[in-house]
Amino acid sequence: MKRSFIREILESITPETISFAGGLPDEHLFPHEALRTSANRILSDPSHLQYSTSSGILPLREQIAAIYSGQGFETHADNILITSGSQQALDLLSRHYRDRSITIESPSYLGAMGIFALNHLHTDAITLEHDGITINPFAQSLERTQLTYLIPDYQNPTGRTYSLEKRKVIAAQVQKHNAILIEDGPYSDLFFESRQPAISAMIPDRSYHLGSFSKTLAPALRIGWIRASEALLRPLLIHKEAMDLHTNSLTQYILFDYLSHGDQYATHLKNLRKHYAKKRKAFSEALTKYLPSFVFEKPKGGMFIYGRLPGVDTAELVKMSLKKRVVFVPGNEFYGEGRGMDEIRFNFTHPNTEATIRGIKILANCL
C-alpha cells in the first residue's frame, strides 16, 4: 500500500508553510482552559489512572447516548463503543468485514480507502453527485456487496451533503437488500445552516454510525465512537480487546468531566460553527477574487471546499506550490487511478484569513 499523500505533506510542512491540506481544526478555538480544569479535577483522583473496560467508560457512553436521543435517535449506553478516534472505528469494522466487497462514494475519504485496502475489502466506487451518491448504480452495487460506507454530512473530500430524499432512498435500499450501512459523521455537528438527520436513525439495526470529538473539540483526545445495535457491536469488541484493551480512559474521563459541566460544550459548538462559517465565507471570497478559474460549490458545513481548475494538472501544481510553501491536496488522491486530475480539496478551517489570501495569490501565480 502506498503511503498517504496527506501524511507526506503534513511531514513536509514547516512553520512557514501555508497549509490548505490536512483536515485540521483551528487551534485558537480549542477550549483548552476548560479542558485543563477538567484534567486537573480528574487527575486529583488516582482511580482514573487504572485499567478500564473495552467498550469505554460508562458515564461517557451515557452522555453520547443522551446526545443521540436528544436528536430523536433513541440510543442507550449499550449502543455505544468508544474508540481511539473514528479512525479506529474504521479499522475495527474493516477487520470484521475483511475480504468483503463494499460500496463507497467516489471520491471518498483517503484514510478509509487505505484501511479497506489493508484488510482486503474490495471497494466498488460509485459517483458522488451534488446531493449524494448516484442512486441507480448504488442500488445495483449494494445488491451485490450488501455493505456500504458513506459520509453524508459535509463529506471528505467534497464538502457535499446528502439531500433528505436521497437519505430516505438509501435507507430503503439498505433495508431491501438486507445490507449494512457504515455512516461516518465526524463533520455532522459542524453545520452552518441546519442539522441533517442521520441515515442510521432510519435503519438503527442495520447501521453503524461513527462519531468523533476530533473535529468539534480536539483531535489529540483521540476519542471517537460507534453507535450500533448490541448485536452489531458484540463481535467488534473482540477486535477492540485484541487491539488495545481499551481507549485511553484518562482522556475519556476528562471529556466526561468537560461534557458534564454546564452547557459549555453546546456554547463551544455554537461558537465553532459561527467561526467556521466566517472562514468559509472569507476563503470562498478569496478564491473568487484571486483564483477566478476555480469552479466550486460552497459547502454548508464541515471543513473543506472542493472544486476544479479545468484543464490544470493539480498534482503538478502542488509540486510547484510546495516550493513556494503552499500546499493543498490534489483531487486525484481521492479516487482510483486517473480521475480528478484537475480537482483540488482546500481546508478552510485551519489557516487564518491573511494566510488564506496570501496562499491563494501564490497559487494564482504558480498557475
Which secondary-structure segment (H or E) carries 249? Answer: helix 249-259
CA gap 95, 197 in Å, rounded: 28
Is residue 287 within 8 A of residue 296, CB to CB? The reply is yes
Least Å distance between CB 350 and ligand PMP? 12
- State yes or no: residue 186 binds ligand PMP (CB under 6 A): yes
Q: Which region among 54-62, 83-91, 116-124, 263-271 touches ligand PMP (by CB under 6 A)?
A: 83-91
Other residues' Cβ atoms within 10 Å of the Cβ of residue 101? 15
Is residue 154 within 8 A of residue 161, CB to CB? The reply is yes
Strand partners, 226: 81, 210
For ligand PMP, give the closer residue by CB, 85 or 299. Answer: 85
Name the residue among 157, 211, 216, 206 with its Cα closest to residue 185.
211
C-alpha cell, 227: 453507535
- State yes or no: residue 151 binds ligand PMP (CB under 6 A): yes
Least Å distance between CB 304 and ligand PMP? 9
- State yes or no: residue 200 binds ligand PMP (CB under 6 A): no
Least Å distance between CB 260 and ligand PMP? 21
- State yes or no: residue 224 binds ligand PMP (CB under 6 A): yes
- State yes or no: residue 158 binds ligand PMP (CB under 6 A): no
Is residue 161 within 8 A of residue 138, CB to CB? The reply is no
Other residues' Cβ atoms within 10 Å of the Cβ of residue 309? 21
For ligand PMP, give the closer residue by CB, 55 or 83. Answer: 83
- State yes or no: residue 156 binds ligand PMP (CB under 6 A): yes
Q: Contacts with ligand PMP: how many residues (CB under 6 A)?
A: 14
- Treating both helix axes as pointing N-terminal to C-terminal, what angle do 230-244 and 85-96 enclose, rounded to 10 degrees? 110
Of residues 91, 124, 183, 184, which one binds ligand PMP by CB under 6 A? Answer: 184
C-alpha cell, 72: 430523536
Q: Which region among 79-87, 123-131, 262-270, 353-361 touches ligand PMP (by CB under 6 A)?
A: 79-87
- State yes or no: residue 123 binds ligand PMP (CB under 6 A): no
Residues that bind ligand PMP (CB under 6 A): 23, 85-87, 109, 111, 151, 156, 184, 186, 212, 214, 219, 224
